[in-house]
Structure 1
Amino acid sequence: MSYYGGTIELESAEWNDKKAVEYELAQAAWGMRLNVWYDLFHWNKNIVCADKRAAINKLASMPDWNGVLYHMDVPDTAAIKRLVAAERKAEERYREVCAATDIHNRKSKTITCKACGSRVELARFKGSVCPVCKKSLRSESARERVDRAKKAHEAAVERLAAARAENARKHGELAWMLSYIERC
């Protein structure tokens, strides 16, 4: 027996009214010719995601037949657009630092691991860790540069997510995002 699944978006203005949401779900399922039993759904009113992408990610981490609320149609403010630009710049900087400190940029054909002392031929493998001891082959200063760039990018991503969540909480309308499994 095989299964396939997906998500259904319900843009119900009366999200507090479970019957209205279930009716809309039944209409959507009928339109998609699905045998969705809406009494099997776990309606998670306490989980409110900032946007559609966050709702899909949340549903991917949950068991099947779940519904979560998300804020829809929230326009980005000028502050969020600045944070998006800062996040892209931080990501670009992180990629540049990783490329600049890559061990394959060396002129020599071999490199010695400082942790275990093995000599590694660069043409035989990809990556920047020793195949013997799994320690980084980058220098200490290069690892610090990569770590700083990575932390700066992660901080920019967190600031952007927090700003989008706050904007959605203030200005977004709520809708249901449902995950389902269809038996065929």
Structure 2
Amino acid sequence: MILWDPRKGTAEVKFGLGQNQWFECPVNTCDLSPDSSTMAAGGENGGVVLTNVKQTKVLYAFNDAHGDQSVECVRFSRTHPFMASGGLDGNLLIWDTTPFKLRHTCAHGEGVVKIQWHPSEPIVYTASLDHTVRAWDARTGECTKTWTGHNDGILCIALSKDGRHIITGADDTTARVFDTQN
């Protein structure tokens, strides 16, 4: 994993074997905290690692967060003190970032491959290989809504800027738009 200075085109910080002992497997996903001070990363081994970007110091390492199943997505909320991770174990994990600890384990059924946070509410949306999109309340861990319509695993998800619409794409070669208000 390399953090680049886009103005100079140079590698500013490198994480990995031989550099900073970090993951011993391929990294599948990463995200920066809203203030860009912390990076979350998920690995093929099921681990989630949080690193202080400036000090290149591992803050937390949860080597078996998703068991031994690959972590497919991590994402910080931009408006609330939460981070979420999804994995092929079929779980969405919601983490409290102050202090960093596991808040909720939300069972999805099959692999959670993409997540998006609502732009202003503590709601996280998941796209899953079980053909569904779900909304989860990060405060309680409850699934508040499930959308169906795909006939195969959902591979990508996007949310409109106002949080009213979810757009998905799936292995069934379709894209769908869901209204979060209905």
Fold shared by both chains (TM-score > 0.5): no
| Greater Rg over alpha carbons, structure | 1
Q: Which has the higher strand share?
A: 2
Q: Which has the higher helix share?
A: 1
Greater RCO (CA < 8 Å, at least 6 residues apart) = 1
TM-score tier, shorter chain, comes to under 0.3
